[in-house]
Structure 1
Amino acid sequence: MNKNFSFIILTFNEEIHLPRLLNSIKNLNAKTFILDSGSTDETLKIAEQYGAEVKQNPFINHPKQWDFALKNFKVETPWTIGLDADQTVTPELFEMLANFKEDDNKDINGIYFNRKNFFQGRWIRFGTFYPFYLLKMFRTGLGFSDLNENMDHRFIAPGKAKIWKKGWILEENLKENDIAFWKSKHERYSDLVAQEEIERILKLRNQSLKPNLLGSPDEKRAWLKRLWWKLPLGLRPYLYFSYRMFFKLGIFEGRTGIKFHYLQGFWFRRLVDRKIKALQKTYR
């Protein structure tokens, strides 16, 4: 059994994704923990077949689900890796993990993986989506889930971190090939984001990380989020979509990629802004 790290995975009806992920990591011989939120398909059976330890917890949002996972699984390795079920470990990342040595990382508390995001079979390479560094590996007991977020989840590991630029994870939610599913999912997400932003306006939430445009990938995103919150509601989706399409070259993404940028960078952001305006009326 791997003595360096263990995996934690979140699931909900992931029978089409989970085998893909577990196959990509099985030869690392690492203990695998799965936190499920009520799957009714073959997810739990697949987890059992791969020897994973499973717990159940009702889903509220991703940050709270990760918080529960980190606090309720008995991880005995010095490092924890948190993955989503629709992600897979590439051969390049597999090799880096297979060769990982604790002695070479004594002063490191977190490691960023580089994500390649796919939509309907296409790698979304432009429009701010690549490179995209995610803190996915951190010292057990030190890394935690950022509960100041309501929808976007991130791990925080105080101290020094490193970036594995060629340590790729692939992320592709095959269920999102159905645009009706994608829109239904993001309708739910828009409620979470709108409520979060209202709470930030009311000073009920603070950023856990210090915003810093020149800092770590997460500190840079915190800086950009703070800027986003200052932009005028209703106008900012147009500004953001234009920025992604022209300044960040999303226009070269191809038909499928442009559809993704429109849905994720414009349609979803307009929906959030409309819900924020509706909520503002209830707080007057």
Structure 2
Amino acid sequence: MSISVLILTLNEELNLPDCLDAVSWSDDIVVLDSGSTDRTVEIAKAAGARVYHRVQDNEHAQRTYGLRQIEFRHLWVYMPDADEITPPDLRDEMLAIAADPGRPEVMFRVRFKNIFMGRWIRHSSLYPTWVVRLVRPDKISFERQINLQCVADGLEGRLQNHFYHYSFNKGLNAWYEKHNRYSWFEAQESLKSLRRGRLKLADIFSGRAELRRRALKELSFRLPFRPALRFLYMYLVRGGFLDGGAGYLYCRLLTAYEYMIVVKMMEIRRREQGLRV
């Protein structure tokens, strides 16, 4: 048994060829495009992918549409982003899972190696971060509009191998444009969290990395000087300085992203009060 592949795209002509080449072992590759104006769709069709089109309103709706409205040939669906490369060892591990009908899991998390300035920035990127990539589409759902949280209707597992993430491959201008959009959604989610008032402090000490990461994020919404604290945590506490110059630059970039979120939270609050920004 093989695995279907779902890739969401928007102007990914620089990243898509390598991503598609790394999943060419699948006989069912689907690209869900949200209005690319470059050669993304042409590249996908040339590689034999089935191409669907949908204007993206947010990541939650787009990914839900991809998994619910598109019919896949196989029970399992692998969901790499266009800037991710799937190495052979991860491929083989996933295919072995798909070939075993007795597996009780309905989704799997996987770690990744974030590549910046030609090197793996292990410490600055808060490795290991576990993200969902292999799923049974009928057994999962999503929460949040951005940086989705995946909820499984059943057991979840963890893959032992990694994929490679080239999030800066399209350049810093593209990175800033993307995170400018993301920061608006993050600001909205941050305010929702504050208004709910729920904070599971015990999860900070959980043995599961994804729960610790989520709890620390929730805690950060409630702290003053949030951008500066994030830099100190990433660069000093988590050892970003061990990644050299690339680590310093990466930590500064994520600090800028955090600052965008904080400022946009202020903007949302003022607009809710009928005040000008």
TM-score, scaled relative to structure 2 = 0.88
> What is the match of residue 250 of structure 2?
260
Distance in 1 separating the partners of 2:120 and 2:108: 23
> What is the match of residue 210 of structure 2?
218
Letter in 2 for 1:230: R
> What is the match of residue 234 of structure 2?
244
CA displacement 1:69-127 (0-9 Å, x = unmatched):
11111124221111111111012212213433543752112111111111232221103
Unaligned 5+ runs, structure 1: none
- Aligned partner of residue 118 in structure 1, secondary structure: strand
Cα gap change, 1:210/1:9 in structure 2, threshold over 3 Å: closer, same or farther?
A: farther
Of 181, 184, 200, 2:177 maps to: 184
Distance in 1 separating the partners of 2:101 and 2:55: 39
Distance in 1 separating the partners of 2:201 and 2:154: 13
Shift of 1:151: 2.0
Shift of 1:217: 3.8
Of 34, 38, 41, 1:37 maps to: 34
1:193 aligns with 2:186: yes
Cα gap change, 1:260/1:75 in structure 2, threshold over 3 Å: closer, same or farther?
A: same
- Aligned partner of residue 38 in structure 1, secondary structure: coil
Shift of 1:216: 4.0
Letter in 1 for 2:31: I
Is the 8 Å Cα contact of residues 241 and 262 (structure 1) preserved in structure 2?
Answer: yes
Cα gap change, 1:80/1:101 in structure 2, threshold over 3 Å: closer, same or farther?
A: closer
List aligned pairs for 1:43-62, cutoff 5 A: 43-62=40-59
| RMSD over aligned Cα atoms | 2.5
Is the 8 Å Cα contact of residues 122 and 257 (structure 1) preserved in structure 2?
Answer: no
Aligned length in residues: 272
Shift of 1:230: 2.1
Distance in 2 separating the partners of 1:47 and 1:210: 45
> What is the match of residue 87 of structure 2?
90
Cα gap change, 1:210/1:143 in structure 2, threshold over 3 Å: closer, same or farther?
A: farther
Is the 8 Å Cα contact of residues 120 and 176 (structure 1) preserved in structure 2?
Answer: no
Distance in 2 separating the partners of 1:21 and 1:256: 24
List aligned pairs for 1:77-226, cutoff 5 A: 77-103=74-100, 106-146=103-143, 149-165=144-160, 167-177=161-171, 179-203=172-196, 212-213=203-204, 214=206, 216-226=208-218
Shift of 1:206: 8.6
Letter in 2 for 1:169: F
Of 9, 17, 20, 2:18 maps to: 20
Distance in 1 separating the partners of 2:118 and 2:34: 27
Mean CA deviation greater in 241-250 or 274-283: 274-283
Letter in 1 for 2:18: R
- Aligned partner of residue 138 in structure 2, secondary structure: coil
